[in-house]
Structure formats: C-alpha cells, structure tokens
Chain A
Amino acid sequence: DTGVSQDPRHKITKRGQNVTFRCDPISEHNRLYWYRQTLGQGPEFLTYFQNEAQLEKSRLLSDRFSAERPKGSFSTLEIQRTEQGDSAMYLCASSLKTDTQYFGPGTRLTVL
C-alpha cells in the first residue's frame, strides 16, 4: 500500500492557461474523489468516480473543469482557461468501501 499520490505537487500558471493534474489512487480502490481546498477553509467536494464512471459532479465544477478516470485506474483533473479564483489546493482521495477515504498530498495551484 503506497498510498494516494498526486502530481505535480505545485503548479504555477498564468491566467488563461490550461492545467492538468493527475491522481493515482491506492491500487485496489474503486472509488475516487476530487476536492478543492481554499486558504483557511475545509475541502469542498468536486466530483466522484466509481471505477471509470463519473457519478456525481458538484456545482463548483464549472464547464472549464473536466475530470476523467480511464480504465478505472488513475484520474486526471483539467482546468481550462484558468482564472485567479481557481488558485487552491486540489485534493484526491480514494476508498474501497463507503466509509474511509484516504487522501493524497494534494496539488497546490497558483494562478498569476
């Protein structure tokens, strides 16, 4: 069990650029979640995958955001035309059952 990994750990980009983050869940976990955490706040749910199917998307996930999980393994979160308000920590979590979610270290995005 190597834990949930995320790449990159930090990303600095200019407003209007596209960025993509990757999450590798714990290998046997079929459930994968994305959360966003802004400074001084708790994480907020963005989206959920069970295997390769995206089953729920938060209203926070505007049409500039897209997430995929091909083949039910790793997941990517892409933000198009980034805005300064997108600056946050993006957290990925995975679980096998419906109780405990295990979090990765996060990707900190800074939009200049």
Chain B
Amino acid sequence: AQSVTQLDSQVPVFEEAPVELRCNYSSSVSVYLFWYVQYPNQGLQLLLKYLSGSTLVKGINGFEAEFNKSQTSFHLRKPSVHISDTAEYFCAVSEISGGYNKLIFGAGTRLAVHP
C-alpha cells in the first residue's frame, strides 16, 4: 500500500531564509507526486507536480521540488521565504494505474515564517 511521510510537523524559519520541507513515500509501483498548500480555513492549492521527465520541478510562488527515485523522496524547497508563505503544506502521491487516481496525503508540515 502507498504511504507518505512528512518528516517535520512544524518548520519555523525567518523571512528571506531558505527552507526545505521533507517528504518520503512508499509505493511498489510508479507514482505521480504532488505538493499542495493550504491556507487557514481554505481548500488545497496545487504548488507543483511530478508526472515524468525532469526530476527537478518548478512550481508557483518560487517553490521547487526534486524527485529522487532511489531515496523515494520529493522534498520541497524555496531559496527565500516570505511572511505570506506561512501555511500548511501537504505532500501527496497517486499510483499510475487505472483510469483515475486517488491521492494519498502526508500529515502535513506547518511552515511558520517569522519577521
């Protein structure tokens, strides 16, 4: 069965500092990988996704992530964070099979950016 582990439940960081949010997954088949962001009392917004091709994926708001198949990881990075990046971040995986995909989410990482 698939599973997703987000290694840090909370990440505090100062404004303009770099940040990395870690995500590891477990699956016996090929997968698609996603990062979503959730602001308070809102739904999820897609940051970026890996489907195939280049292992370095660039997303919105200056975020990027690198797919590492050997380490089964998909860590999210941003070189310089802003106060507005404070939110909950979710890593998700779906299997490549059938005609649809259900997402399996990690428990989330709360990013707190301090001035």
- Cβ of A65 within 8 Å of any chain B Cβ, yes or no, is no
Contact partners of A45 in chain B: CB under 8 A: 102-104
Closest to B98 in A: A98
Q: Please count how many residues in chain A sit with their CB below 8 Å of the partner chain's CB atoms.
A: 27
Q: Are A99 and B32 in contact, CB atoms less than 8 angstroms apart?
A: yes
Which of B34, B36, B44, B105 is within 8 Å of A44, CB to CB? B105
Say whether, besides A91-B44, A99-B32, A42 and B102 are in contact (CB < 8 Å).
no
Q: Are B106 and A42 in contact, CB atoms less than 8 angstroms apart?
A: yes
0/1 per residue, A99-112, Cβ < 8 Å to B?
11111111010000
Q: Are A43 and B103 in contact, CB atoms less than 8 angstroms apart?
A: yes
Which of B45, B90, B99, B103 is within 8 Å of A50, CB to CB? B99
CB distance from A48 to the nearest CB of B (A): 6
Say whether, besides A42-B107, A43-B44, A103-B43, A56 and B102 are in contact (CB < 8 Å).
yes
Q: Are A98 and B99 in contact, CB atoms less than 8 angstroms apart?
A: yes
Say whether, besides A31-B100, A43-B90, A98-B100, A105 and B43 are in contact (CB < 8 Å).
yes
Contact partners of B107 in chain A: CB under 8 A: 40-42
A-B contact pairs, 16 of them (CB 8 A): A31-B100, A40-B107, A40-B108, A42-B90, A42-B92, A42-B105, A42-B107, A45-B102, A45-B104, A56-B100, A98-B96, A99-B51, A99-B101, A101-B103, A103-B44, A105-B42
**Contacts A100-B46, A106-B43 given; 15 further ones with Cβ under 8 A?**
A4-B43, A33-B102, A42-B92, A43-B44, A45-B104, A50-B99, A56-B102, A93-B44, A98-B99, A100-B34, A101-B101, A102-B46, A103-B36, A103-B45, A108-B41
